[in-house]
Structure 1
Amino acid sequence: MKRILFTLPLGFFLHTAHATESTTETVSPFSANLTVASQYVSRGFQQTWGKPALQGGLDYAHPNGLFVGTWASTVSDHFIRDASVEWDVYTGYSRSFGDLSLGVTVAYYFYPGAETTAEAGHTSFDYGEIIPEIAYGPVTVKYAVTYTQDYFGNNSKTLGVGNDQHSRGSGYLDVNWHQPLGQGWSADAHYGNQRIKNFSAASFQDASFSVNKELPYDLAASLMYSKAWDKEDYYKEYSNGNPNARVSDPIDSTVTFSLTKSF
């Protein structure tokens, strides 16, 4: 459930290459990124159970605004039963009109080998979203709608609520602010609100603030504070569902440091 950044996915780092011996430069439609982080936090959830994460992505963007890409991160099986990797694939279109940008992304999130317990019906955690987005100046607003049967495996069997209900149509409001500060520094603020259809007790909100610094050799460092919360302490003693599984609060406030290399 990685946050996809506007206008191009995963921040989309462009680089230049000399096409000839002249000074003419060509912008490559391909980019890649590799990140080492103190942990993986998405929508306020600590998906590596507080442990370090290795992440990477590959993207292609056509000049007409079409893009396609993939991204992956390590995750903890304490957070997602039998999972070790999150793998995202996405495609979409974006276009700018001066300071205004519009776009839409279709994303699918895989958790290979991960599923809920037999008692919960061996439900997969895989899910997909359609994400329309609009940006003006420093502010970007997105709303991700779940088009698959379930959002992150949430249904009556896995949550023990209702009768054969699913969470298709769940929505995530994602509001972001980005402000360059000069000399390679920038700041980001985020607010999110996840509504899980038919299971309001599991819905949550999250917020984060980060300070970022561009470094030599196409490196970038980030320090982020994040926290999520819900109305009924639903995630206060969270476990992956296994007998005698470790219990934690994955949405508690936390600080994450990351270092990214772009290619």
Structure 2
Amino acid sequence: MIRTTRFAVSASAFALLFAVKVLAQAPPAAEPPKAPEPDYTLTGNFGIYSQYIFRGLTQTDTKPAFQGGFDYANKNGLYIGTWGSNISWLSDSGLCAHGCSLEWDVYGGWKYAFNDDWGIDLGVYFYGYPGKYVSGATNPDTTELYVAGSWKWVSLKYSYSVDHTFGVPNQGWYLDLTANYPITDAWTFNAHVGRQEYLGSQNSVSNSVLNYTDWKLGLTYAFSGWNVGGYWTDTNTNASVYTISGKNIGKSTGTAFIQKTF
């Protein structure tokens, strides 16, 4: 009886060890196949800002702005979109006879990612300012061609206006260096420096008097498709030419926002 019991226990232990070894050597279960990449994506966004800052200049006289847009992109890299915001700088400057309280933009281009780190973006951007303008004023509607390169969280973008530039009757260009560094999955540090230059002259006066540099520092917190944050901007604009209604529109200022992507 004793020998039989010992043999039974030994046989059971051997069977258990054999089963464990077989399971350990078995190939891992196959992962479920990844969902195919969609042919296109369609997204929208809407935000409320304490003011609208564009290239370092307030577009709403430090008053709140309501902004939103839609974007379409296909898997080949082609994209098109539209975006809008309320503005006041055209009325504040006296260039507008009627309307001019809306900026409505349309843009499109092509993006290509060489790998997970490097990418390129080519496109055209139209800034529209519907309204009736006073006699002699240059229509501020502006069309820019742009090329941009990106590396991880850093991008460098060059934009060139093909005709007049935001009410200046000559071409101009803007260079934009931006970094959006992910501190955590939710927090992002935002930094930017840009250079705006205007070409040509008006009435024998060089448009270079309008040239300036702007910069921005900020933080963004993301959760459930929402973005909440704030940033500080400043410029070295010539106050004598960038003062509207007694205010320098390029002075240092802070902006807070909440924005939703859907």
The two structures have a TM-score, normalised by structure 2, of 0.78
Which structure carries more strand by proportion?
Answer: 2
Is the contact between residue 235 and residue 251 of structure 1 (CA under 8 Å) also seen in structure 2? no
Partner of 2:103: 86
Whether 1:63 and 2:69 are equivalent positions in the alignment is no
Q: Aligned residues, how many?
A: 217
Aligned-partner residue type, residue 168 of structure 2: N
Distance 1:80 1:260, change over 3 A: farther
Equivalent residue in structure 2 for 1:109, among 105, 108, 127: 127
SS at match of 2:209: helix
Whether 1:258 and 2:262 are equivalent positions in the alignment is no
For each residue in 1:159-194, what CA deviation from the matched residue of structure 2 results, as whole angstroms up to 9, or x when unmatched? Answer: xxxxxxxx12x1101000110011400011000000
Partner of 1:152: 166
For each residue in 1:134-165, what CA deviation from the matched residue of structure 2 results, as whole angstroms up to 9, or x when unmatched? Answer: 011221000100012x101113xxxxxxxxxx
Partner of 1:193: 195
For each residue in 1:58-91, what CA deviation from the matched residue of structure 2 results, as whole angstroms up to 9, or x when unmatched? Answer: 0000100000000000001325743211011000
Taking the aligned partners of 1:59 and 1:80, their CA distance within structure 2 comes to 33
Alignment of 1:16-35 (within 5 A): 27=38, 29-35=41-47
Partner of 1:226: 233
> Unaligned stretches of 5+ in structure 2?
1-33, 201-206
Taking the aligned partners of 1:220 and 1:42, their CA distance within structure 2 comes to 19
1:204 CA displacement: 1.0
Aligned-partner residue type, residue 219 of structure 1: W
Is the contact between residue 125 and residue 143 of structure 2 (CA under 8 Å) also seen in structure 1? yes
Alignment of 1:71-220 (within 5 A): 71-76=83-88, 77-78=91-92, 81-82=95-96, 83-98=100-115, 99-115=117-133, 117-118=134-135, 121-148=136-163, 150-155=164-169, 167-168=170-171, 170-198=172-200, 199-216=207-224, 218-220=225-227
Distance 1:132 1:190, change over 3 A: same
For each residue in 1:2-21, what CA deviation from the matched residue of structure 2 results, as whole angstroms up to 9, or x when unmatched? Answer: xxxxxxxxxxxxxxxxxxxx
Taking the aligned partners of 1:51 and 1:184, their CA distance within structure 2 comes to 28
Taking the aligned partners of 1:219 and 1:227, their CA distance within structure 2 comes to 26
Which structure carries more helix by proportion?
Answer: 2
The two structures have a TM-score, normalised by structure 1, of 0.78
Taking the aligned partners of 1:35 and 1:106, their CA distance within structure 2 comes to 23
Is the contact between residue 37 and residue 75 of structure 2 (CA under 8 Å) also seen in structure 1? no
Structure possessing the higher relative contact order (Cα contacts under 8 Å, 6 or more residues apart) = 1
Taking the aligned partners of 2:226 and 2:36, their CA distance within structure 1 comes to 21
SS at match of 1:182: coil
Distance 1:179 1:114, change over 3 A: farther
For each residue in 1:106-144, what CA deviation from the matched residue of structure 2 results, as whole angstroms up to 9, or x when unmatched? Answer: 0110001053x32xx132110100010001122100010
* RMSD, aligned CA: 1.9
Distance 1:94 1:26, change over 3 A: closer
Partner of 1:162: none
SS at match of 1:178: strand
Aligned-partner residue type, residue 150 of structure 2: A
SS at match of 1:124: coil
Misfit runs of 4+, over 2 Å: 23-28, 79-82, 232-236
Is the contact between residue 202 and residue 234 of structure 1 (CA under 8 Å) also seen in structure 2? no
**Percent of paired sites with the same residue:** 30
Highest Rg: 1 or 2? 2
Taking the aligned partners of 1:44 and 1:30, their CA distance within structure 2 comes to 29
Taking the aligned partners of 2:215 and 2:160, their CA distance within structure 1 comes to 19
Is the contact between residue 95 and residue 137 of structure 2 (CA under 8 Å) also seen in structure 1? no
